[in-house]
Structure 1
Amino acid sequence: MRRRRGFPLYVPGPPENLPAEYRRHGVAIGDVGSITPEGIFDFCFNIYLPTYHPINHHDVPESFDPLPPYASEDLISLTYDPGDSVSTSSVRKFISPVEFPGGDFVFSCDAPQGAVLALPHGAHLKKLKYVDRVREYAAAHAESWYKYINGVRGRGLTNGSLYLVTGSEKAHSWGMASFYGTSDQFEVAFKQTLNADSTIRYRWGGMHDHPGPSQHKSYDPSPITNTPLNQTTFIHGLSISLGVGIWGKLFGKVGIREIGESQAESANGNGHMPGAPGSSLFSWSLGLLGGGGFTGGKSYAGENGNVVLSDLPPVVKIFHPAEVINNYLLEKNPDATVVMSHDDDWSGILADDPSTGSQVQNVSEFLDRINDEFDITEKDA
């Protein structure tokens, strides 16, 4: 997110239990859903498709009326060249003279933590130029969406975790590696290797073909030309919250999750009710990008189709910074019916300061920058 590529999905591929039509294309503009603790986009329905479409599969909110389709000229389309990569500042890529795909990625990793995404065949971004129409549509239907998703679909979303996709970045192949708590610098490589079936695919390696203390996985199907472009590495969109009064009317309690809570609270998904004695929505103590507790899971190695998994970390509670913004707006505007924030509006705040190289490190700094750089806009229903 500091590189302004969007919100990263730790599991780019579409879930196997979704309709075949959805699995061919992956996450799409207009998808409504949420991000699971595993880093999967949990699709519920698409606002541009009719009820009877195979992707919506007659499983939509009551009185669902789709939004008219957007035109191709309403899109921003970008292509990232083969050999592209996205990483934290603690990871540096060595420039290879070999053209991609075919060349090796070699990264130098500095302690104590970092992450990198390697894209041997590049990536493709499509997103809406303007989201006002989508924003108005979401404001009109947000209450029915939460009622349907938490009721009929039984998702149990907390307030602010509903997400409407307005753009996505997809790749034919990818490799992810991350590390935490290391004390020494090390190198890791993502390079082509010969498999037992004589196919050549990208795999993680390093000194003596072991990728050091990193957790890693990859996806590189063969041949690329026959595989669908359905691996979604980043998404852009609206995070949607309901007003406190509406949420209480629907679900009987306020479900705003406090970021930076204790590990036990995070695992149990506890929240706080605004105005309760001694509580605050903004008493977060952990770092903006480092909060959340482990919710279980075991490390393992294995292979699932074309996805290679190795040394996976325990599952952690996914935190989207827009939840902080929405909660802040709800506290500032207690009579609001719907609160929304779009990733592309505020993502620059997380980027490195061009003059100093410094970064926002905690929630307080994040909210201070929001106050300094933005006006809160209130619209009539």
Structure 2
Amino acid sequence: MSDSAERPVVETPVLKQTLKVKSAAELYRELGQKFYGTPLYIPQPNARLSNAERREGIRPGSVGKITKSGNFDVLHNNVFKSIPTSDTSAVPVIDTPFGDGDIIEFKQFSAGSFLVTPGIYRKLLNGTYIRLAIYLVQSGALLLLPNGAYSEHFANTTKLFDYVLQNGPKLYAYANNIRGRQFKNGELSVVYNCPKSVSWAIATFQNTS
């Protein structure tokens, strides 16, 4: 019989993975970002804009910033001057080489299309209804497009990028000095591709337990 003391049993602790709690806008931003740009959790235009600006909405050439809440803070559209702004006298005078012929428009998503983050799959229920199943993911987002969507896109992106490089300082000066936005370097955006739809449904989820 050994007189040595028994060794204590050491249990390996199970490390519980904690998820960073994200806002709905952050979760939704992960949807299709590699292929379709940055999704807007609040796609509606600013209610304080003029009727003409609200009808037009965001389009290629719109200048502004994607906010933390998930909307696009549109300052103006200086690439195309067809939209009257509420303070046109304050818009920097920049000669634009663009016209409506530089925009192409096409049907991008058919009626009933939807976009989902990885881990969400479509299943037929009773051969008629569509059911979305979630597998092995703790967070995600989806976008339903009952009427489909079309896309407005800059055909000549090279000319657009040259335009932004030449006029970037003027756009930042307008945003910060006149509109008081205090945009940091890299925060100001010029839209060059914009999918649009007349109807949509958005959902996000996150399991933090």
**How high is the TM-score relative to the length of structure 2?**
0.75
Higher Cα Rg, which structure: 2
Change (3 A) 1:64 1:154: same
Change (3 A) 1:33 1:158: same
What SS does structure 2 have at the residue aligned with 1:49? coil
Q: Does 1:147 align with 2:173?
A: yes
Q: Does 1:160 align with 2:186?
A: yes
Q: Map residues 78-97 of structure 1 onto 2, 5 A cutoff.
A: 78-95=107-124
Measured against aligned partners, the alpha-carbon deviations of 1:117-146 in whole angstroms (never above 9, x if no partner) come to 111111111211221111111111101111
CA distance in 1, matches of 2:122, 2:199: 18
Q: Which residue of 1 aligns with 2:53?
A: 22
CA distance in 1, matches of 2:33, 2:189: 20
Change (3 A) 1:167 1:2: closer
CA distance in 1, matches of 2:71, 2:83: 23
Specify which structure has the bigger relative contact order, considering alpha-carbon pairs within 8 angstroms and separated by 6 or more residues.
2
Measured against aligned partners, the alpha-carbon deviations of 1:237-270 in whole angstroms (never above 9, x if no partner) come to xxxxxxxxxxxxxxxxxxxxxxxxxxxxxxxxxx
- Counterpart contact for 1:32–1:43, Cα < 8 Å: yes
Change (3 A) 1:14 1:59: farther
Q: Map residues 139-218 of structure 1 onto 2, 5 A cutoff.
A: 139-181=165-207
What SS does structure 2 have at the residue aligned with 1:7? coil
Change (3 A) 1:71 1:25: same
Q: Which residue of 2 aligns with 1:107?
A: 132
Q: Which residue of 1 aligns with 2:94?
A: 64
Q: Which residue of 2 aligns with 1:54?
A: 84
Q: Residue 104 of structure 2 is aligned with which of 75, 84, 87?
A: 75
Measured against aligned partners, the alpha-carbon deviations of 1:152-186 in whole angstroms (never above 9, x if no partner) come to 10001111011001110111111111111256xxx
Q: Which residue of 1 aligns with 2:27?
A: none
Change (3 A) 1:5 1:105: farther
CA distance in 1, matches of 2:132, 2:89: 45
- Counterpart contact for 2:63–2:190, Cα < 8 Å: yes
The amino acid across from 1:20 in the alignment is: N
What SS does structure 2 have at the residue aligned with 1:17? coil
CA distance in 1, matches of 2:88, 2:133: 49
Change (3 A) 1:75 1:58: same
What SS does structure 2 have at the residue aligned with 1:85? strand
What SS does structure 2 have at the residue aligned with 1:37? coil
CA distance in 1, matches of 2:203, 2:59: 25
Q: Which residue of 2 aligns with 1:120?
A: 146
Q: Which shows bigger deviation, 112-121 or 58-67?
A: 58-67
Q: Which residue of 2 aligns with 1:10?
A: 41
What residue ranges of structure 2 are gaps of 5+ in the alignment? 1-31
Shift of 1:7: 1.0
Shift of 1:105: 4.6
Aligned residues: 176
Measured against aligned partners, the alpha-carbon deviations of 1:206-257 in whole angstroms (never above 9, x if no partner) come to xxxxxxxxxxxxxxxxxxxxxxxxxxxxxxxxxxxxxxxxxxxxxxxxxxxx
What residue ranges of structure 1 are gaps of 5+ in the alignment? 99-103, 184-381
Q: Does 1:133 align with 2:159?
A: yes
Q: Which shows bigger deviation, 60-69 or 76-85?
A: 60-69
Moved over 6 A (4+): none
The amino acid across from 1:164 in the alignment is: V
Shift of 1:62: 3.1
Q: Which residue of 1 aligns with 2:72?
A: 41
What SS does structure 2 have at the residue aligned with 1:159? coil
Give the fraction of aligned pairs with identical amino acids, expressed as a percent: 27
Q: Map residues 305-344 of structure 1 onto 2, 5 A cutoff.
A: none
**How high is the TM-score relative to the length of structure 1?**
0.43
